[in-house]
Amino acid sequence: MDQVLEPKLVNKLTELLGILSKKDALTIFLLSKEGLKAEADTPQKIGLTRKQYYTRLKQLVNNGLIDKYGDVYQHTTLGALLHQKYILELLGHVRNAKQMEMVDTLKRTKQFSEDDIANFVGKVAGTSLVSSTLPRIKVTWSYEDMISTVIDGIQLCKNEIFLASRFANDVIVNNISQKASAGLHIKVISDFDMVLSRLVSVKEKLEALNKNAIERLNVLGNVWYPMPENIGRKFMHIPYCAIVLDGKEAGIEIIDKNEPDKFKGAIFIKDEIFAAQIRKIFNSWWESAEDDDLMKLQNRVLDKSS
């Protein structure tokens, strides 16, 4: 209940629901599912004035529901999730409104058990009234809450962890290291800029202490992710943080387009379908990422600090 009452979360939900409650905004959002062409005559084609179209388009983009990819507007990850999990389900429930009225009538008679009613709903609506079947969603708006949520998830993980990170946090590193020692399957993709920035910072501190930083780069190479060798490690420029835990839960970073380098928030969802989608994204990154090459990192540190 405390999470639901967080002011920032309530404000964000109010914004999203407020936008999607507008017919013209919802029209644009639904059409973006298959890709909405960014053409001069698009407003006319979908039955909106230019003012209506561009006003709602800007609101949808600014709130992270759609974005422009090439010459079309399409759902972002958040937009696709909301469309799949809530808009489509809500449309289905609206279509079954009469059947839902029948369910309420059955409840009032008190002649049927909750299980009987749940089974009936499953047959007429293709869903269940059991709340445990719904995805569990948590949104965090502070870096500290994000770290705490990730650590909780890692500690409960039993089989595998896939992490792509733009930030360095020693507590997360230590927890993942412990899980690797326990035999879990783990892959980590680190952001190049974050790793190099940290290594350069340590190198400068060593130089300030009159230490030979260049000769100690073998030590510096282990500053980020000093984990067991059985962890798969690669590097690349990561667009946003992502984590997948046991194929059942996943989290992604929420990016502010105006300040992409700063942490804005994160959304964590316990749902196998969502986790599979994020795992697919992670796999594509892994294929294009560079191997954990110490010599290559040494050269980059020297180039950046020279």
Beta strand residue intervals within the chain, DSSP E: 36-37, 66-69, 72-75, 136-140, 160-165, 185-191, 232-236, 242-245, 249-254, 265-270, 290-291
The runs of H, that is alpha helices, within 36-112 are 42-45, 50-62, 77-82, 88-95, 97-109
pLDDT value at residue 85: 75
Confidence of residue 221 (pLDDT cuts 50, 70, 90): very low
> How deeply is 212 buried, as exposed, middle or buried, from its count of CB atoms within 10 A (0-12, 13-18, 19+)?
exposed
pLDDT at 197 exceeding the cut of 70: no
Indicate the pLDDT class of residue 126, thresholds 50, 70 and 90: low
Element (H, E) at 206: helix 192-208
The predicted structure's pLDDT at residue 15: 83
Choose among 164, 138, 154: nearest CA to 265: 138
The whole-chain average pLDDT of the chain stands at: 78
pLDDT in tens, 173-193: 888 888 988 889 999 998 877
Task: Give yes or no for residue 245 having a pLDDT over 90.
Answer: yes
Q: Are residues 203 and 220 in contact, defined by beta-carbon separation less than 8 angstroms?
A: yes
Query: Which residues, other chains included, contact 20 with Cβ-Cβ below 8 Å and sequence gap of 6+?
Result: 26, 29, 65, 82, 87
Secondary structure of 176-194 in HEC code, one letter for each residue: HHHHHHCCCEEEEEEEHHH
Burial class (CB in 10 A: 0-12, 13-18, 19+), 33: middle
- pLDDT confidence of residue 67: 92
Place of tokens 């053409």: 39
Q: Which strand (E) or helix (H) includes residue 280?
A: helix 272-288
Please report the domains of the chain, with CATH numbers, ordered by start residue: 7-78 (1.10.10.10), 136-305 (3.30.870.10)
Cβ atoms of residues 64 and 76 within 8 Å:
yes
Q: Distance (Å, rounded) from C-alpha 231 to C-alpha 303? A: 28
In this predicted structure, what is the pLDDT of residue 55? Answer: 93
Q: Which pLDDT does position 112 carry in this prediction?
A: 63
Asked if residues 103 and 109 have their Cβ atoms less than 8 Å apart, the reply is: no
Judging by beta carbons within 10 Å of its beta carbon (0-12, 13-18, 19+), is residue 29 exposed, middle or buried?
A: buried
Single-letter amino acid, residue 34: E
* Mean pLDDT across 115-133: 55
CA dist., res. 147 & res. 9, Å (int)? 17
- pLDDT higher than threshold 90 for residue 130: no
pLDDT computed for residue 131 by the predictor: 42
Q: Out of 14-28, 57-71, 132-146, 256-270, pick the least confident.
A: 132-146
